[in-house]
């Protein structure tokens, strides 16, 4: 959680400062671009597993984990699909208004919202609590026994022997 918050709080700074690289002298601009790219790639590399762990720990039970991961993957794909279109529109709007950094600053605004949300998050101790595993095992055992009982029962309506 601490790493996730650190990353969430650093992204607004990254996106606010990126357009100002054009103001650096030519000799320093290349190093500034390298620094921003290394910063972005390194933090993205740390953010992905932190996000995956927090998402997994948020599942109230193992039975819902697939649904939660599916919704998260769908949402991420949707953002990857519409993000370039929206930022392209904001960039062209910014050029018309004389603010070429508009797309970056709008992205920074969204990351500020994400950082504020990350400060409100709490950890409940993880999904893999002993009681949670015991409840899931008992539920799976009851379902398995029910299936076995139906399959072995010759009077079951779906059985061909009872017809």
Tokens of 95: 């050029």
pLDDT at site 150: 47
HSE of 140, CA atoms in CB hemisphere, 13 A? 9
pLDDT at site 141: 58
Domain co-membership, 34 together with 69: yes
* Angle ∠(13,19,22) on CA atoms, nearest 5: 130
User: Is there a contact between 17 and 36 (Cβ–Cβ < 8 Å)?
Assistant: yes
Q: Measured between alpha carbons, how far is residue 136 from residues 60, 123, 140 in Å?
A: 11, 21, 6
Domain co-membership, 27 together with 84: yes
The count of structural domains within the chain is: 2
Domain that holds residue 76: 2-125
Domain co-membership, 21 together with 61: yes
What number of helices (H) and strands (E) belong to the chain? 5, 0
pLDDT at site 121: 86
Mean pLDDT by 10 residues, the chain (163 residues): 92 93 92 94 92 86 88 92 94 93 94 92 64 56 53 50 45
User: Is there a contact between 118 and 9 (Cβ–Cβ < 8 Å)?
Assistant: yes
Domain co-membership, 37 together with 103: yes
pLDDT at site 33: 94
User: Is there a contact between 9 and 121 (Cβ–Cβ < 8 Å)?
Assistant: no
Q: CA-CA distance, 65 to 107, in Å (whole number)?
A: 30
The reported pTM is 0.66
Domain co-membership, 90 together with 143: no
């Amino acid at each position: 959680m601490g790493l996730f918050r650190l990353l969430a709080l650093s992204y607004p700074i990254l996106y606010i400062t990126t357009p100002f690289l054009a103001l650096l002298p030519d000799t320093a601009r290349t190093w500034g671009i390298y620094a921003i790219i290394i910063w972005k790639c390194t933090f993205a590399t740390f953010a992905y597993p932190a996000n995956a762990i927090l998402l997994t720990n948020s599942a109230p039970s193992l039975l819902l984990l697939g649904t939660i991961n599916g919704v998260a993957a769908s949402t991420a794909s949707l953002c990857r699909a519409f993000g370039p279109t929206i930022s392209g529109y904001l960039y062209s709007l910014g050029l018309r208004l004389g603010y070429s950094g508009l797309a970056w600053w709008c992205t920074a605004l969204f990351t500020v919202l994400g950082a504020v949300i990350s400060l409100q998050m709490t950890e409940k101790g993880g999904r893999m609590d002993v009681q949670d595993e015991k409840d899931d095992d008992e539920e799976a055992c009851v379902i398995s026994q029910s299936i076995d009982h139906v399959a072995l029962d010759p009077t079951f309506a779906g059985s061909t022997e009872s017809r």
